[in-house]
């Protein structure tokens, strides 16, 4: 199993942040999005929020790759619809590449 930590900012607008959280509540999630995420090899995913900064932790199969994940997302129209909707709430992190959303964080510590 692999673990990844990624970060992304939301637009600093309390109403947008509230709506973003609403979309991620269990009763409002799109089941087909969760199924697509799992199809890429993601076994567990959590998103944490502080202010407008988010941190996402993903646990994946050993053969998971971000390239494969992107390929599957590109082939799934409903995922494209979800990503477009979410981009209305999100903004790139300072230092992110153009068009880059979630940015992979560097692991710098493990408790021995």
Q: What is the pLDDT of residues 41-90, one digit of tens each?
A: 999 999 999 999 999 999 999 999 999 999 999 999 999 999 999 999 99
Q: How confident is the model at residue 96 (pLDDT cuts 50, 70, 90)?
A: very high
Q: What is the pLDDT of residue 62?
A: 98
Output the average pLDDT for the chain. Answer: 97
Q: What is the DSSP string of 34-100?
A: HHHHHHTTEEEEEEEEETTEEEEEEEE-TT--HHHHHHHHHT-HHHHHHHHHHHTTEEPPTTPPTT-
Phi, psi of 88 (to 5 degrees): -70, -20
Q: What is the pLDDT of residue 99?
A: 84
Q: Is 2-104 in CATH node 3.30.70.1090? A: yes
pTM confidence score:
0.92
- The full set of domain ranges for the chain reads 2-104
C-alpha 74: how far from chain center: 15
Location of structure tokens 């408790």: 111
């Amino acid at each position: 199993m692999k673990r990844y930590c990624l970060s992304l900012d939301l637009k600093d607008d309390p109403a947008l942040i509230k709506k973003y959280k609403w979309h991620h509540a269990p009763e409002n999630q799109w089941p087909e999005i969760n199924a697509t995420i799992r199809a890429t090899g993601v076994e567990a995913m959590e998103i944490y929020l502080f202010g407008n900064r988010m941190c996402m932790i993903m646990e994946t199969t050993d053969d998971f790759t971000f390239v494969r994940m992107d390929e599957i997302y590109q082939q799934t129209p409903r995922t494209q619809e979800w990503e477009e909707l979410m981009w209305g709430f999100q903004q790139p992190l300072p230092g992110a590449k153009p068009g880059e959303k979630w940015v992979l964080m560097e692991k710098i510590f493990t408790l021995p």
